[in-house]
Amino acid sequence: MSAPTPHIDAKPGDIASTVIMAGDPLRAKFMAETYLENIRQVNQVRGMLGFTGTYKGKEVTVMGHGMGIPSIGIYTYELYHFYDVQTIIRVGSLGAYHKDLKLGDLVLAMGACTDSNYGAQYELPGTFAPIADFGLLRKAVDACEHFGYDYMVGNVMSSDVFYSDHPQGDKWLKMGVLGVEMEASALYMNASRAGRKALVICTVSDHVFTGEVTTSEQRRTTFTRMMEVALTLL
């Protein structure tokens, strides 16, 4: 297969070597329009908007990836393998487990646990531990320190289930997992298999145990700190 793909109609050369991705394509649109110059739309298939432009003279693509491991698995696989993308940074939302995390805090996902069966495709003789690229992680920590943003670094849980019949957050918390999202593990697995780089930066959008929550509009247009950190990694 070559570009365009069944899910991305960008032509070869339309997508930068670094792609910043958000689950919500409207968040990607907001980010492109807020931070990038010379933007052009490069994808619209299934409404998964993608834009390429420049940030401080460096080319970058900002694109949606949808919700859940199957969706991000498809888009990031195609970007790595058919568009020669070298680095993917996810900027997403996270439900906090850790008691010290507050709404708006950043979480840098050093590793990603999961209840998904995504990794079974590799037929490994054990359990694979999906982790971030250390160089990107270190730069993201430096950026958070520079900006003075509240953040934590650690493990996240990439769940296949949003509305769980048997919530398991307390068990993951006992293992030091900071919070739950739905995509990091697949991104990290795809990056590892492709020999490329990846990092997940999340903003705490709600707290699983306190019941605090943000609105969809807040998640789309006010979670700018993680975007600013991601842009420093170009």
DSSP string, 105-146: -EEEEEEEEES-SGGGGG--SS----B--HHHHHHHHHHHHH
Secondary structure (DSSP) of 212-225: -B--HHHHHHT-HH
**Torsion over CA: 50, 51, 54, 55 (sign):** negative
Q: Quote the CA–CA distance of 186 and 120 in Å, as a whole number.
A: 11
C-alpha 63/C-alpha 22 separation (Å) is: 6
Contact 37, 53 (CB under 8 A): yes
**Residue 143 CA: distances (Å) to CA of 32, 92, 133, 226:** 20, 17, 16, 10
Active site residue 206: yes
What distance separates the 2 farthest-apart alpha carbons in the chain? 48
Token couple for 12: 């070869």
> Of the residues 9, 115, 160, 206, which is catalytic?
206
Instruction: Point out the residues that are catalytic.
Output: 206
